[in-house]
Amino acid sequence: MTRDSQSRANDELAQRRPPLRRLDPRARILAALLLLLQLVLLPPGPGLVAVAVLLLVFVAAGRPPLARLAVGLVAVAWMLALTLLLHAFTTPGKVLWAVPGLGWVITVEGVAGGSLLAGRLAALVLVGVTLSLAVSALETVRAIDVLLSPLARLGVAVGSVSLLLGMTLRFVPTLYAEAIQLKKALRARGWTSGRGAASRVRAWIPLFIPLLANSLRRADDLAETLVLRGYDPRAVRGSYLLSRWRARDTAALAAVSAPLCLFLFARIFA
């Protein structure tokens, strides 16, 4: 298959994908990073509202399963609730409600500030879940390799960074599956997590030790395999994944970065 025919085949396959996956992997990652940056930096106002709209468009374009989004939000629900409560009880301002007998008060400013910060954290989770489903591990490694390639002229081992990132993304699901199997095996032998912090830590030791041993064994096997195959992180490598930067990638990044650019323009010329 020639390069042009493979490129046309990739284009036809991309038309059946969600809109976000039709973008170049580098554009997806940069768009997500820009959203995360603006969610953290922009103050409340029209700019943050525009970022929220772009966030909804980003999630809708990725078409992630609602169950995965729900799982991601449920996993950090305790953090969101704790953030809201801490701000509500510790921020001075107009009293909204006082806890009888304790002297604790909830202020309007605290509820507003806590809700804003909890909303930012929830938005970060949504962006992370959507990006993880929209970009595969191999695409992520290749995109990071290309984006960091200018640093190679400064002596940065970009190949080693890409290798570490790729191995991490590949080994995390494997180690998670092994941890689940070890946990089931221990429970079949009468293992319990115990009660209290100290007993829980001691109870998890029989799980962590074999998991650590398996991780070290896999890392040693991987290192030996790379040596036997003559892997050189400084070598220039190609890829069978043909991706081209298109005008829609530039337009997507321009749209995502518009709120931040307008905010900086207003701050400079205010």
Tens digit of pLDDT at every position of the chain (270 positions)? 555 555 565 555 556 678 888 888 889 999 999 999 999 989 988 889 999 999 999 999 998 988 888 988 998 999 999 999 998 888 888 888 887 777 788 888 998 999 999 999 999 999 999 988 888 877 888 888 888 888 778 777 777 777 777 777 778 778 888 888 888 888 888 777 767 667 777 777 777 888 888 888 888 888 888 888 887 766 666 666 556 888 999 999 999 999 999 988 888 886
Q: Are residues 148 and 253 in the same domain?
A: yes
Q: Are residues 188 and 258 in the same domain?
A: no
**Considering the domain boundaries, does residue 21 fall inside one?**
yes
Q: Are residues 249 and 143 in the same domain?
A: yes
Q: Are residues 43 and 120 in the same domain?
A: yes
Output the pTM of the full model.
0.77
pLDDT at 226: 82
**Considering the domain boundaries, does residue 256 fall inside one?**
yes
Q: Are residues 81 and 174 in the same domain?
A: no
Q: Are residues 90 and 138 in the same domain?
A: yes
Q: Are residues 174 and 222 in the same domain?
A: yes
Q: Are residues 138 and 206 in the same domain?
A: no
**Considering the domain boundaries, does residue 263 fall inside one?**
yes
State the SS3 of the chain: CCHHHHHHHHHHHHHCCCHHHHCCHHHHHHHHHHHHHHHHHCCCCHHHHHHHHHHHHHHHHHCCCHHHHHHHHHHCHHHHHHHHHHHHHHCCCCEEEECCCCCCEEEHHHHHHHHHHHHHHHHHHHHHHHHHHHCCHHHHHHHHHHHCHHHHHHCCCHHHHHHHHHHHHHHHHHHHHHHHHHHHHHHHCCCCCCCCHHHHHHHHHHHHHHHHHHHHHHHHHHHHHHHHCCCCCCCCCCCCCCCCCCHHHHHHHHHHHHHHHHHHHHHHCC
Q: Are residues 35 and 162 in the same domain?
A: no
Neighbouring CB atoms inside 10 A of 167's CB total 16
Q: Are residues 129 and 227 in the same domain?
A: no
Q: Are residues 54 and 167 in the same domain?
A: no
**Considering the domain boundaries, does residue 238 fall inside one?**
no
Q: Are residues 116 and 218 in the same domain?
A: no
**Domains identified in the chain, total number:** 2
**Considering the domain boundaries, does residue 26 fall inside one?**
yes
- Domain enclosing residue 31, as ranges: 3-154+243-268
**Considering the domain boundaries, does residue 115 fall inside one?**
yes
**Considering the domain boundaries, does residue 35 fall inside one?**
yes
**Considering the domain boundaries, does residue 182 fall inside one?**
yes
* Range 177-198 burial, b when 16+ CB lie within 10 A, else e: ebeeebeeebeeeebeeeeeee
